[in-house]
Amino acid sequence: MTERPRILVIKLGALGDIVQAMGPAAAIRLHHPGAEIVLLTTDAYAGFLADAPYFDEIWVDARPRWRNPIGLFRLRHRLRATHFTRVYDLQTSDRSSFYFRLMGPGPRPEWSGIARGASHPHATPDRDRMHTLDRQADQLRLAGIESVPTPDLSWVVAGIERFELPERYGVLVPGGAAHRPEKRWPADRFGALAQDLVGRGITPVIIGAAAEREAAAAILARCPGVRDLTGKTSLSEIVALGRRALWAVGNDTGPMHLLVAAGAPATVLYSSASDPALTAPRGPRVVILQRPSLAELPVQEVAATLAFG
């Protein structure tokens, strides 16, 4: 009996990038229908992606440091022993490219990525100036995969009944990376927007990690009608919230990608710290607002984008 081809997909993070890699993952699965496909990712996303129909197995990359030769040896042994026929490096970082070298010496699998010596290099000169979705589609095209769908999270199964939300609610995402405060719209502006929502008969629901509780408290102090779910939702539950939300408003942060991919209409707020032309979530009802500093973005302009039925 012929052994199934083994395919490795590398996508380590971050959350927004994980979501945007779901289209390429679907395309890889379709291109290799009989293959055993392994995803190498990080612990933060392994549980969430375990139900994705694109992978047969999930490996957690402990990301061993260069000064951890035992950890690197174990990873090298696992990569080499599995005898992958092809690797799709969707992370395309220095670390993931190093894994190409780690699989040597000797014959290596076919490799789609930017590692030196890759059999299917993504050598498009302006790759770093392409939107993530366009860049990944171009990378796969050069590896023989012509069609890449948009990210699809219909496979996510989760309920939100435990939150006992009203039928009409909107999601606010006031957080973001702790080391990038310049990417956040001020909490008092979210509070004023929450007041606007309440005035329209819509319950504002705040989501985010536990680290966002201070911002949530500031919003709640200004608008007592807010439901604070910070630190209480799983990634799957954020997807479920997005399926029913009337609208979502938030900063350039991972949960906004989950909400948009789930189908929520959304307004995403950008400062000059990041470029929406490269990273913004895409959807049929996504509005992008940008200012050099988000402190310059008025509440009225954000509220004007919210077109509720």
Is beta strand 57-60 parallel, antiparallel or unpaired with respect to 36-41? parallel
Q: What is the pLDDT of residue 258?
A: 98
Give the mean pLDDT of 298-305: 98
Least confident among 1-5, 36-40, 91-95, 289-293: 1-5
In tens, the pLDDT along 106-156 reads: 899 999 999 999 999 999 999 999 999 999 999 999 999 999 999 999 999
Strand extents, DSSP E, the chain: 6-10, 36-41, 57-60, 86-89, 110-113, 120-121, 169-173, 203-206, 227-228, 248-251, 266-270, 286-290
pTM: 0.96
CATH topology assigned to domain 161-303: Rossmann fold (3.40.50)
Q: How many CB atoms lie within 10 A of CB 72?
A: 16
**Least confident stretch, 60-69, 221-230, 293-302:** 60-69
Q: Would you say residue 3 has pLDDT above 90?
A: no
What's residue 1's pLDDT? 47
Lowest mean per-residue pLDDT among 7-11, 103-107, 300-304: 103-107
Among 206, 253, 212, 240, residue whose Cα is nearest residue 226? 206
* Percentage of residues of the chain with pLDDT beyond 90: 94
SS3 170: strand
* DSSP 8-state symbol, 161: G
Q: What is the CATH number of domain 6-142?
A: 3.40.50.2000
Instruction: Quick: pLDDT tens for 51-98.
Output: 999 999 999 999 998 889 999 999 999 999 999 999 999 999 999 999
CATH 3.40.50.2000 domain extents, the chain? 6-142, 161-303
pLDDT tens per residue, range 245-278: 999 999 999 999 999 999 999 999 999 999 999 9
Q: Which residue has 């081809």 as its token pair?
A: 5
Burial classification of residue 60, based on how many CB atoms lie within 10 Å of its CB (0-12 exposed, 13-18 middle, 19 or more buried) = middle
| Measured distance CA(289)–CA(271) in Å, rounded | 9
Once rounded to an integer, what is the mean pLDDT over residues 187-208?
Answer: 97
CB-hemisphere CA count at 13 Å for 132?
Answer: 26
How far is residue 302's CA from residue 309's CA, in Å, rounded to a whole number?
A: 17
Stretch among 9-18, 66-75, 88-97, 196-205 having the lowest mean pLDDT: 66-75
Closest CA relative to residue 32, chosen from 144, 155, 109: 144
